[in-house]
């Protein structure tokens, strides 16, 4: 198994957008047909997709459900979904609709038992989002910064049976500054859970660096703005990931 490249589709008002540092007021719109975008990624060789309901992350419930359903119906691979998923009912709903993995963020910090219960109910299906700003966990759409370190939060779930940790350096997300490879690898080495890197991927160099550390526990990488801005070719990224 090689490094997984997850192209990202972030949803706001039914449109495909990218935010800068998680700021809803700094959204760039890249399209108004999310399902078609998913098909384009599949055509380039993507077998995995990372989808975020941004409105849902702030509202604490599904807001872009219709767009997500459209993506799931037209993307032939695995869809990983996050954003506002904070109840057992919402987790079960998305698995029933064909989502492969559900990402739990804010609820992981506020209600760790919820994560453990869901990981037992849906083996291999739960991903915990570890969103950090300067090493400290950020929640509620990254609007709040806690006093918990990213590593401390991750270690709370080592025995929970979660499929992976999704680590995002909030200060780099959507800015094309380059992925925080060092922090990602440090986290992967410090916990016995696969880690997915996110935030700041600027080009093929980031993919190569993360692929080199696949054996350290880096399972995958999420990339969005670099793809949409033409700085990263998805087919080339997948090729580099598979070759490492």
Q: What are the pLDDT digits (tens) for 3-40?
A: 999 999 999 999 999 988 778 899 999 999 999 999 99
Of 66, 96, 117, 131, the active-site residue reads 131
134 is catalytic: no
Active-site residue, 131 included: yes
Confirm if 237 and 223 have CB atoms less than 8 A apart: yes
Residue 84 vs residue 33, higher pLDDT: 33
User: Tens digit of pLDDT for each residue in 138-186?
Assistant: 866 555 677 889 999 999 999 999 999 999 988 766 567 789 999 999 9
DSSP state, residue 217? T
State residue 54's pLDDT score.
94
Strand intervals (E) in 136-204: 136-139, 144-149, 164-169, 195-198
pLDDT band at 232 (very low <50, low <70, confident <90, very high): very high
CB 27 within 8 A of CB 61: no
Q: Which domains does the chain have, with CATH numbers?
A: 4-243 (3.20.20.70)
- Cα–Cα dist 6/38, whole Å: 11
């Amino acid at each position: 198994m090689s490094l997984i490249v997850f192209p990202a589709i972030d949803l706001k008002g039914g449109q495909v957008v990218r935010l800068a540092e998680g700021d809803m007021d700094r959204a760039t719109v890249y399209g108004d047909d999310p399902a078609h975008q998913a098909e384009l990624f599949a055509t380039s060789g993507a077998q995995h997709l990372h989808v975020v309901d941004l409105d849902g992350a702030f509202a604490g419930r599904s807001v872009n459900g219709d767009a997500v359903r459209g993506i799931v119906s037209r993307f032939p691979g695995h869809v990983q979904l996050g954003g506002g998923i904070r109840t057992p009912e919402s987790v079960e709903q998305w698995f029933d609709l064909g989502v492969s993995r559900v990402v739990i963020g804010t609820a992981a910090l506020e209600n760790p038992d919820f994560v453990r219960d869901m990981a037992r109910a849906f083996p291999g299906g739960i991903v915990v989002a570890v969103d950090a700003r300067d090493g400290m966990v950020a929640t509620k759409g990254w609007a709040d910064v806690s006093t918990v370190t990213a590593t401390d939060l991750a270690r709370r779930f080592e025995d929970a049976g979660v499929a992976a940790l999704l680590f995002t350096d909030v200060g780099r997300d959507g800015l094309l500054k380059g992925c925080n490879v060092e922090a990602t690898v440090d986290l992967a080495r410090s916990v016995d859970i696969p880690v997915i890197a996110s935030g700041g991927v600027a080009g093929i160099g980031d993919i190569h660096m993360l692929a080199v550390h696949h054996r350290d526990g880096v399972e995958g990488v999420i990339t969005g703005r670099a793809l949409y801005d033409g700085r990263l070719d998805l087919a080339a990224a997948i090729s580099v990931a598979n070759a490492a």
